[in-house]
């Protein structure tokens, strides 16, 4: 039971590789129909529910008549968070799928690999040095921090042994995160204004985020999605193992760089909008893999859709259980995601960390 079984399973079945019962020929169309319906339902529920319950018919009525008083609630608060929730969830789901495919590590998540910590540090540095909290400045800072952190992680993992190994990568991510968090807490402790802004931002929430000013984020996200799409073929080769992938004519360095660009851009845009939200990138690919199998042509879009649904539903749950003050979606996700994480570990189908 000990070790040997985890070893055998991990060796026999790399993540994302087609396995027994996970590769269904007739499934994908139906699966995507279900996912599409899921997104639609989640969006409508997100528009309906809140401290004021609105029935589905009037939601439509208010959407077409934004000028009315009632329309103001929907347009002012619920439409932005719904749209942003879909966007951020989609980005994080795909970033997680790319990351798990690249590392062949089923527990890969932007949080674990230091990307979120890098973005957080840059944002805190921005608040501390420049006193800025605007979405645009946050975006640029988060992007810069995410890029630096992920390059650092990959570079450390790459020294000497080639960039291909997921295990040093995971440990490098842990080490870099710890370092960045230490520096972050130095800034936070040095200045109460920084702490005041940082502690709200770092929880990760969709509430009180506005659509205005997020256009550049969308642009970054779209570029990230293009990189992710360009990486799909490589991800499929990589799932066979790096040696086989190279045998198939895959340029490992290019595959890694494109993947890195996709992960960084998608995570940074998501973090810029909502603050660091963990576990979407971890959870979504697992659900998606169960629905559409391990082929990345289907897995990537499915992960994005699952991520959008998961994030929106967590946001709705947070609105409902909080009473007077709602629970941020980042917190709901952290609890649910932790449970998912433990279930994945206990099922024992995993590669080495």
Partner 1 sequence: MTGTDVRADTAAPTAASPGRGARRRELRILGRRIDLQVLVVTVVVLVVVVFVALLGIVAGSSSLTIPDALRTLLGAGTGAEQLIVFELRLPRVAGALVVGCALGIAGALTQTFARNPLATPDIIGVTSGAAFGAVAVIVFSGGVYAVGAGTLSLGVPLAATLGALITAAIVYGLSWKGGVDSFRLILIGIGATATLMGLIRWFIARAQLVEAATASQWLAGSLSGISWTSVVPVVVVLLIVTPIAMTQTFALEIGRLGDDMSTGLGVALQRHRIIVIACAVVLAAAAVSAAGPIEFIAFVAPQIARRIAGTGRPPLLLSGFMGALVVVGADLIARALLPSPVPVGIITAIVGAPYLIWLLTRRKERETLR
- Residues of this chain that interact with partner 1 (CB under 8 A) are 1-3, 6-11, 104, 107, 111-112, 156-157, 159-161, 165-168, 171-172, 174-176, 178-179, 181-183, 185-186, 188-190, 192, 195-196, 199-200, 202-203, 278-279, 325, 327-328, 330-331, 333-335, 337-339, 341-342, 345-346, 348, 350-353
Residue with smaller CB distance to partner 1, 64 or 323? 323
Closest CA to 86 of 201, 278, 221, 203: 221
Of 130 and 335, CB closest to partner 1? 335
Closest to partner 1 by CB, 190 vs 222, is 190
Least CB distance to partner 1 at residue 3 (A): 5
229 vs 44: CA distance, rounded Å = 28
Could you tell me how many residues make up the chain?
Answer: 353
194 or 224, CB closer to partner 1? 194
Q: Distance (Å, rounded) from C-alpha 323 to C-alpha 320?
A: 7
**Complex with partner 1: residue 35 or 169, whichever CB lies closer:** 169
162 backbone φψ class: left, alpha, beta (φ>0; ψ -120 to 50): left
Least CB distance to partner 1 at residue 311 (A): 14
Q: Nearest distance from residue 128's CB to partner 1, in Å?
A: 14
CA atoms within 13 A on the CB side of 256: 20
- Taking a C-beta distance cutoff of 8 angstroms, is the pair 72, 205 a contact? no
What minimum distance in Å lies between the beta carbon of 239 and partner 1?
12
DSSP per-residue string spanning 229-240: HHHHHHHHHHTT
CA distance 6 to 201: 38
Q: Which residue's CB is nearer to partner 1, number 224 or number 330?
A: 330
| Residue 44 vs 345, nearer CB to partner 1 | 345
Distance in Å, CB of 205 to partner 1, minimum:
9
CB-based contact 265:221 (threshold 8 Å): yes
In the complex, least distance from residue 281 CB atom to partner 1, rounded to whole angstroms: 12
Q: What's the CA gap between 303 and 293, in Å, rounded? A: 11
Q: How far apart are CA 135 and CA 16, in angstroms?
A: 35
Tokens representing 116 are 């979120």
Residue 282 C-beta: closest distance to partner 1, Å: 9
> Are the C-beta atoms of 69 and 54 separated by less than 8 Å?
no
With contact defined as beta carbons under 8 Å apart, do 310 and 279 qualify?
A: no
Smallest gap from Cβ 302 to partner 1, in A, equals: 24
Of 153 and 221, the one with the shorter C-beta distance to partner 1 is 153
């Amino acid at each position: 039971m000990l070790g040997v079984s985890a070893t055998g399973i991990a060796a026999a079945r790399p993540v994302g590789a087609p396995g027994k019962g996970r590769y269904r020929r007739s499934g994908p169309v139906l699966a995507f129909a279900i996912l599409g319906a899921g997104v639609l339902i989640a969006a409508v529920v997100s528009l309906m529910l809140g401290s004021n319950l609105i029935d589905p018919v009037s939601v439509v009525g208010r959407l077409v008549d934004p000028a009315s008083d009632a329309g103001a609630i929907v347009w002012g608060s619920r439409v932005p968070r719904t749209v942003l929730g879909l966007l951020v969830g989609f980005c994080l789901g795909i970033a997680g799928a790319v990351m798990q495919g690249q590392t062949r590590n089923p527990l890969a998540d932007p949080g674990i690999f230091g990307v979120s910590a890098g973005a957080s540090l840059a944002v805190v540095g921005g608040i501390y040095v420049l006193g800025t909290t605007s979405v645009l400045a946050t975006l640029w800072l988060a992007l810069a921090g995410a890029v630096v952190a992920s390059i650092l992680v990959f570079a450390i993992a790459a020294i000497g042994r080639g960039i291909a190994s997921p295990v040093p990568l995971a440990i490098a991510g842990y080490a870099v995160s710890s370092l960045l968090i230490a520096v972050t807490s130095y800034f936070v402790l040095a200045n109460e204004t920084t702490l005041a802004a940082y502690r709200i931002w770092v929880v990760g929430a969709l509430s009180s985020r506005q659509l205005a000013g997020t256009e550049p984020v969308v642009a970054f996200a779209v570029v990230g999605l293009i990189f992710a799409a360009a990486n799909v073929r490589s991800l499929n080769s990589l799932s066979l193992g790096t040696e086989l992938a190279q045998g198939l004519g895959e340029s490992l360095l290019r595959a890694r760089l494109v993947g890195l660009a996709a992960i960084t851009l998608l995570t940074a845009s998501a973090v810029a909008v909502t603050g660091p939200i963990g576990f979407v990138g971890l959870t979504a690919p697992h659900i998606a893999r169960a629905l559409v199998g391990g082929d990345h042509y289907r897995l990537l879009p499915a992960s994005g859709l699952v991520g959008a649904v998961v994030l929106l539903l967590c946001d709705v749950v947070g609105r409902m259980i909080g009473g007077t003050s709602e629970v941020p979606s980042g917190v709901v996700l952290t609890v649910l995601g932790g449970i998912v994480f433990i279930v994945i570990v206990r099922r024992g189908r995993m590669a080495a960390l």
